[in-house]
Structure 1
Amino acid sequence: MASYVSESGYVETQQVRGKVGTSKPIGDELLLLDVETHEQHALDLSVLPAISDDPLRELRARARERRRAQTQPATQPAESRPATRAANHLREEDESEDDVGPAQQRAKRRQRAERTATAQQLPPETPESESPPASAPAEEEESDKPRPVQVRDVVWSRDGQRVVLQVLSLDNKDRWLATVDLAEHKLVPLEHWRDEAWINERFAELGWLLDNETIYFLSEEDGWSHLYLRSVSSDQRRRLTSGRYEVSDVSLSRDGQRLYYTANATHPGVYEAYRIEIASGRSEQISRLGGRNRILLSPDEQTLLVQHSSSTRPPELYLHPLRPGAEARRVTSTTSDEFLRLPWVEPQIVEVPSPGGGTIYARLYAPPEQPRTSVRAAAGSPRTAVGASDALGATRPAVMFVHGAGYLQNAHQGWSTYEREFMFHSLLAYRGYVVLDMDYRGSAGYGRDWRTAIYRDMGGPELEDLEAGVRWLADNARVDPVRVGVYGGSYGGFLTLMALFRKPELFACGAALRPVTDWAHYNHGYTSNILNVPQIDPETYARSSPIEFAAGLKRPLLLCHGMQDDNVFFQDTVRLAQRLIELGKQDWEVALYPVEPHGFREPSSWLDEYRRILKLFETHLAARAAE
């Protein structure tokens, strides 16, 4: 990655991450070492159930067929040769090469060749003066050998006589728990889960009870993260929690009689502290603070240290006696008086029906001066929200914020990590905008099926949910549907582009910040979970990458990207800009930030970016009211 602003005055470069599918996976080996005799014994991982059963077998077979077809003689008629990329079928060009000059024709052909090669990880034909990109490892022929794995956890019992291992396949489709027969030097499988989409490593906590016989662990096997017990010497197994909520942050009491945990059992956006008696299975809620809470049990187990926040107040520390319903006492005051004095707009949590079934939870910021009426809020109790009655007056413009990361929850009732956006949304509300911030499909906090709805289809279900959000605003918040803008960063930038390119009439304008424009250029760990790898699943990359749909742009677009971004490379925006130029698109611009990484560091850069976003909305949303 190049750095153009440097102390040396020269362009400096640094090594950054590789791209998805460009390195050969190398799995762990597992050895048992006798510290007294110094003997070591290799543990056979092939005993893990289904370790040789490749869940991507069919995709690999199709990839091999494509490669064989591509080796056919070049003299074969073009119309009888298979397409080199599914994108050639999915993308509809809005202009032909006959409409442009020779130089533009060459640029268009070269751009298409580059995109085709990127998706299949094959180097494009390049002039001798240019260096071709490094090629990715070729797919191996089908075999029944064990898949490579990662040994994630090695947890010994308290007496040191037993050990339990947590193992994940590198394709992240399988998870195993196993123990080791120390005398026979062999692995003994205990639990096995396969997710046809991907295993959720966030819910993989594991530990021992004091009996040195029983382990506790989290699993999403029923679609929600819950707590289980399992004997390591028998098939005895017991489920401790159940319901449409997620359990996390598990810890064992000193006497081994209880497990403490956090869960969003009362509402998807409220996280409270709980404990459960292991013998009886009786659980009880300890905290009732509302909002978002993280807990730490005191050494004497008389008190919980709680990091508590609300939607308008950053986290503070509280001491909570270890009694259900006890009063918590705040012990820190880290928020400035200046911040506390400002009249921030408190977001309401609302429910938006999802086209895929279920409910999209969202934060709604309403203009403070706007007339209000009572509507059904997310928790089911009457809350004030913007009314839908025609008698309330003229419609308002709106902005939809699209959170990043994909798998992240932002419509909870605690303090958001998007603190700048929270402040910006208050500003927009005071200027008369309604702001909707949705936990679209793929977001965290709502169970396995919501998380995996985007498998092999990034930008499909989420875009449907954004479209449902616009309809909800028009029906419930007195919003003019032709005056709705959209913005977001990283994954939110990606979805902003997908919306503007694939649903060009949905939003009046949009700002895509540090966006992924081609998933074949993102990292391996995140991307391969959801889209597999481009060598075996190019169709998925084609339908999920905004650059393939850039021809659909009709509305004003602002692109903002830091040139030192080592997460989503600046190259993503550069390549999209070139594509938009080739397509002859207008009403778009790029703001580049030479010294900024993925998350900006300089206040001046944040200010510049949000001034540009505000100007975009004021120009194309607020100003249209007079038209």
Structure 2
Amino acid sequence: MRRPSIPRGPIQETPLKPVTLAALGSLTLALALSATTPLQAQTPVANTPVANTAAPTLEQIFRAQPYRGENAKEAAFSKSGRYLAYLWSPFGEPGSDLWVHDTRTGKTTRVTSPQVMAAFEAPEDMARFEKKLQQRNTEYAERQAREVAQQAYLRGEKVDLSQWETAAIEQLKKELAEKKAKDDAQKAADKADADAEKYAAAVLAAKRAGKPAPAPSPAASAPDKKDDKEKELWELRDELKKKLAREKLKPADLYPGPAQFVWANKADELVFQYRGGLYRWQPDAKAPMPLVATQRELRTVAYTPDDNGFIYMDETRVLRLSFKQAGVQVVNRELIHPDDEQKKYRIDQTVISEDGRWMSLLARAPLKTADDKPAPPGRQVEIMNYSERWATAKKVNREVSDDKRTEKPLALYIRAVPAGAEPPRKQPEPVFTNNGGDVWFEMSDVAWAKDGSRYAFATWEREKELLRVYLGQASETAKPEMVLERRGDVGHEVVNVLKPRFTPDGKTLVLALDEAGWRQPYAMDVATRALRPLLKGEFEAHQVIGFTADSKTLYVLGNLGDTAAMNVLRVDMATGTTQAVGAAGEFHRSAAMSEDGRWVAANAGNWARRPELKLLATDARSPARVLTDSSDKALADLKLLQPERFAYKNRHGDRIEAYVFKPAGWQASDKRPAVVYVYGGPLNDRHIVEVDSFQNTAYLFGQYMAAKHGYVTIAVDPRGHSNYGRKFSDANWERAGEPQAEDLEDLVKLMPAQFGVDGARIGLNGWSFGGFQTQYTMYTRPDLFAAGIAGAGPTEWENYNSWYSGRTIGKVDRSKPVLRKYSLLPLAKGLKKPLMLVHGMQDPNVLYQDTVNVYRELLDSGKESLVELFLDPDGVHALGGVVKPAGWHRKYEAFWLQHLGRVAP
């Protein structure tokens, strides 16, 4: 595979044209419409490719090398708004390099690359990066060739499936021979040196004794090779296994690119962090300027107020350097507890006010017991590894609902940033603390007002169901004031969006709250503490992007008008008037805004236009600029289908979103087999029906089954998902799985008439929470689906991570495993239809034991003929061990064809 060329220094590029897929030119994106009937089908997809064997194969769809690279991340504008910096690398290249786009000229500069950073790296490290990149590309090519050859072999073609092992063993034999020759030569040299030293000592001894010198020893002969037997094949295979384990790629093996950057306060320049070093970039510079080079973990913080220096952190301290003079100043030394020298606080986070005069230090200390001893480590569970001759176990952390908690003590310090060479001052007392221990306590980042006069943060205490917002003055001693308190039903998903922000004038604090069933921004008047909503309506808008300089306009991401998309919304803070900035029907992610209010950057796209980083003019007078091109050009050759969006009303009148793939020649009178995919669990803003989601099973495999086998495939978001309001995200509380099962039941009733489906041949599939959901539905409604595939499902919630189960499943009791009431094991006896259980045996998230235990119950209930296991011995939560996506979905394909049958001619 040819590696894309990498420029040898910063280059100037013209803006990229918007990316489209020519092969999808006639396919129209079906946008969401309001449902006025129980089932509201939306715009169908035209010119769908015919369902036949010419459809892309699974080996092509799930090829070894992904068809897409990473999207741009960490986008941020310079203070003037002229420049946009982001981390991204073109398709096929490792790491995420730093790029800067000039909004005035439209040119983009690539600031870093492996060649540029080689000037600051040890040659050995750069050689290792290049060697490991070649190894990765070779592994991609070999894995793809093996996948294709294996399928050819199964079709009866003459294929040598051992060719890769044979080549690897021949290479290994060559390496072993070279190593032996080198070792033998070294042994001979060592023996010759020893004999020479022995002879010299004998000569010296004879001379001192007055005796004649002894005769020299004969030269050492070459090692006798008669006893050197070539290793047998099984020995070579063992050696090869060890070699592959030693050389297995790790994240640190590949060139990483920069990790962080921070813009200056006034100047159009930035400092970025790369592998233990800090570097300065200025627009006219030919290359980055090194500032600090260490082997320590560094974190960028902020420029000094005059832009003549920079503040950063190492593992324990806050440091400052000057661009004009040598030396580094310690701004804040390692914290200690004033009453206990041994109780040292470690600084987790430092935030500098924009005026550079104040900083907040969030620190944590080791938890100790009542007798002042270190707290015992938390629970660890063992995961078995069967890759060696004898099975071994590794331990992973696991905190379950009935475990005592070991939350570290927390302290918030407010400190004036020392000026110049000011000597160290006495450490102040913290302004806010939490003792930690057996509690659930979470705290947001600290936000500073633009003028540095005040700060704010929020806290959430789960057991107390207590949400609080604090406002503090810029003072080392004054305690912050609690200005908002909500206790009880505040919506469990609010904790993920507790990010208070001040408007530029500092007069308003904006909070994302769930006061009316939807996470939306609220404005608190700093002077009066009055709280008011900035938006109204049944939609989610909890990701605040920024404000205009006059503090009159807010920009936020929201799914107003289309729950499957997120757009940039411009909101008048006085009236609530809202206007979309981005293109309708696109999902905008990871957005950033310029301080002058002219520009917004976001990764945006949909099924027809793959997501890329786009620069949006907030006045909508200029077309969006597409700044990245993250796809392999071969992606267009797949001619992937696009789904049709639809929605239906469940028995409670809730609108349930979904999409469907219909095969060519489809008619409503058909009796086709069908598969429904479900995820089903709340987490931040995750759901399946998103216009830019190419999820492996729901989208890629779903369109494959439609194109190849004429199936109707549906992906659905029943109650239980996030980003549909609190009614959906809280649906599982103390009735896990039941709301989703009701919604799936309502969907199945509609499918025969509306989608040309044989009601007796519908399958259900889900992963993770969806794996739980698939099992729950198959056990409690055994006649609803004809077959099911459940992947990595948490069957015993008392054994799952408490941070999730205690928020979404039910109230916990840390004295006993009360979540056992939601276990699937007692329900398993209800199974009537075929079920395949899929799991990675080294999954640290949903433990493999969950599948083993429910499998035991199924066998004990006499379900041997109905249940089968598909396991990845080396796989984790998303598999990825010996089982690769193509093989994984090939197993799915065979299962569905066996149990749901084929489409009649």
| Structure 2 residue identity aligned to 1:224 | W
**Could you tell me whether the CA contact under 8 Å between 1:320 and 1:328 is conserved in 2?**
yes
Tell me which of 429, 443, 451 is aligned to 1:40: 429
Cα deviation, residue 409, structure 1: 4.5
Q: Does 1:228 align with 2:525?
A: no
Tell me which of 599, 603, 607 is aligned to 1:307: 603
Cα deviation, residue 306, structure 1: 2.9
Tell me which of 555, 559, 562 is aligned to 1:267: 562
**Could you tell me whether the CA contact under 8 Å between 2:403 and 2:814 is conserved in 1?**
no
Alignment of 1:465-614 (within 5 A): 465-535=743-813, 541-586=819-864, 587-602=866-881, 604-614=883-893
Cα deviation, residue 496, structure 1: 0.5
2:742 matched residue in structure 1: 464
Which ranges of structure 2 fall in alignment gaps of 5 or more residues? 1-381, 417-424
1:144 matched residue in structure 2: none
2:447 matched residue in structure 1: 155
| Structure 2 residue identity aligned to 1:467 | E
**Cα pair distance change 1:202/1:38, threshold 3 Å:** closer
Structure 2 distance, partners of 1:148, 1:242, is 32
**Could you tell me whether the CA contact under 8 Å between 1:346 and 1:365 is conserved in 2?**
yes
**Could you tell me whether the CA contact under 8 Å between 1:216 and 1:229 is conserved in 2?**
yes
**Could you tell me whether the CA contact under 8 Å between 2:640 and 2:703 is conserved in 1?**
yes
**Could you tell me whether the CA contact under 8 Å between 2:466 and 2:488 is conserved in 1?**
yes
1:277 matched residue in structure 2: 572
**Could you tell me whether the CA contact under 8 Å between 2:647 and 2:658 is conserved in 1?**
yes
Structure 2 distance, partners of 1:357, 1:25, is 44
Structure 2 distance, partners of 1:413, 1:202, is 20
- 1:157-215 CA-partner distances (Å, limit 9, x unpaired): 23333221211103383211112365874442211223436242233231112233321
Tell me which of 717, 721, 730 is aligned to 1:443: 721
**Could you tell me whether the CA contact under 8 Å between 1:3 and 1:594 is conserved in 2?**
no
Structure 2 distance, partners of 1:335, 1:602, is 25
**Could you tell me whether the CA contact under 8 Å between 1:520 and 1:541 is conserved in 2?**
yes
Between 1:2-11 and 1:323-332, the stretch displaced more is: 2-11
Corresponding residue SS for 1:223? coil
Alignment of 1:122-133 (within 5 A): none
Q: Does 1:414 align with 2:691?
A: yes
**Could you tell me whether the CA contact under 8 Å between 1:247 and 1:261 is conserved in 2?**
yes
Structure 2 distance, partners of 1:404, 1:314, is 25
**Could you tell me whether the CA contact under 8 Å between 1:27 and 1:149 is conserved in 2?**
no
- 1:596-623 CA-partner distances (Å, limit 9, x unpaired): 1101225843233212211111111125
Alignment of 1:69-88 (within 5 A): none
| Structure 2 residue identity aligned to 1:395 | K
Q: Does 1:401 align with 2:782?
A: no
- 1:107-134 CA-partner distances (Å, limit 9, x unpaired): xxxxxxxxxxxxxxxxxxxxxxxxxxxx
1:247 matched residue in structure 2: 541
**Could you tell me whether the CA contact under 8 Å between 1:28 and 1:151 is conserved in 2?**
no
The list of structure 1 runs, each at least 4 consecutive aligned residues, that deviate by more than 4 angstroms after superposition, is 5-10, 27-37, 41-46, 181-184, 298-301, 536-540, 623-626
Structure 1 distance, partners of 2:719, 2:806, is 18
1:177 matched residue in structure 2: 469
Alignment of 1:184-195 (within 5 A): 185-195=478-488
**Cα pair distance change 1:413/1:490, threshold 3 Å:** closer
**Cα pair distance change 1:542/1:417, threshold 3 Å:** farther
**Cα pair distance change 1:426/1:227, threshold 3 Å:** same
| Structure 1 residue identity aligned to 2:427 | H
Structure 2 distance, partners of 1:332, 1:425, is 28
1:340 matched residue in structure 2: 636
Please report the TM-score for the alignment, with normalisation by the length of structure 2: 0.53
Corresponding residue SS for 2:706? helix
Cα deviation, residue 547, structure 1: 1.5
Q: CA RMSD in A?
A: 2.9
**Cα pair distance change 1:541/1:355, threshold 3 Å:** farther
Structure 1 distance, partners of 2:560, 2:442, is 32
Structure 1 distance, partners of 2:413, 2:573, is 32
Alignment of 1:420-439 (within 5 A): 420-430=697-707, 431-439=709-717
Q: Does 1:352 align with 2:648?
A: yes
- 1:3-55 CA-partner distances (Å, limit 9, x unpaired): 42457865241333232331336475445566644231564879xxxxxxxxx
Between 1:2-11 and 1:191-200, the stretch displaced more is: 2-11
Corresponding residue SS for 1:247? coil
Corresponding residue SS for 2:561? strand
**Could you tell me whether the CA contact under 8 Å between 2:694 and 2:700 is conserved in 1?**
no
Structure 1 distance, partners of 2:862, 2:784, is 21
Structure 2 distance, partners of 1:37, 1:155, is 25
Cα deviation, residue 289, structure 1: 4.0
Which ranges of structure 1 fall in alignment gaps of 5 or more residues? 47-136, 141-146, 372-386
Tell me which of 618, 627, 644 is aligned to 1:331: 627
Between 1:32-41 and 1:214-223, the stretch displaced more is: 32-41
**Could you tell me whether the CA contact under 8 Å between 1:457 and 1:543 is conserved in 2?**
no
1:198 matched residue in structure 2: 492
Cα deviation, residue 557, structure 1: 0.8
Structure 2 distance, partners of 1:291, 1:544, is 38
Structure 1 distance, partners of 2:596, 2:505, is 21
Give the number of equivalent residue pairs. Answer: 508
Q: Does 1:616 align with 2:895?
A: yes
Q: Does 1:217 align with 2:606?
A: no
**Cα pair distance change 1:320/1:535, threshold 3 Å:** closer
- 1:394-431 CA-partner distances (Å, limit 9, x unpaired): 31111110125444554545221513541110111121
Corresponding residue SS for 2:705? helix
| Structure 1 residue identity aligned to 2:671 | T
| Structure 2 residue identity aligned to 1:205 | K
Corresponding residue SS for 1:314? coil
Cα deviation, residue 588, structure 1: 0.7
- 1:204-228 CA-partner distances (Å, limit 9, x unpaired): 2311122333211111111112222
**Could you tell me whether the CA contact under 8 Å between 1:225 and 1:247 is conserved in 2?**
yes
Q: Does 1:167 align with 2:492?
A: no
Structure 1 distance, partners of 2:541, 2:621, is 20
| Structure 2 residue identity aligned to 1:462 | Q
- 1:449-488 CA-partner distances (Å, limit 9, x unpaired): 1211221111111100111111121231121111100111
| Structure 1 residue identity aligned to 2:699 | F
Corresponding residue SS for 2:901? helix
**Could you tell me whether the CA contact under 8 Å between 2:428 and 2:477 is conserved in 1?**
no
**Cα pair distance change 1:596/1:252, threshold 3 Å:** same
Alignment of 1:110-129 (within 5 A): none
- 1:354-396 CA-partner distances (Å, limit 9, x unpaired): 123311011111112213xxxxxxxxxxxxxxx3xxxx4x311
**Could you tell me whether the CA contact under 8 Å between 1:440 and 1:462 is conserved in 2?**
yes
Structure 2 distance, partners of 1:410, 1:161, is 40
**Cα pair distance change 1:172/1:229, threshold 3 Å:** same
**Could you tell me whether the CA contact under 8 Å between 1:547 and 1:579 is conserved in 2?**
yes
1:101 matched residue in structure 2: none
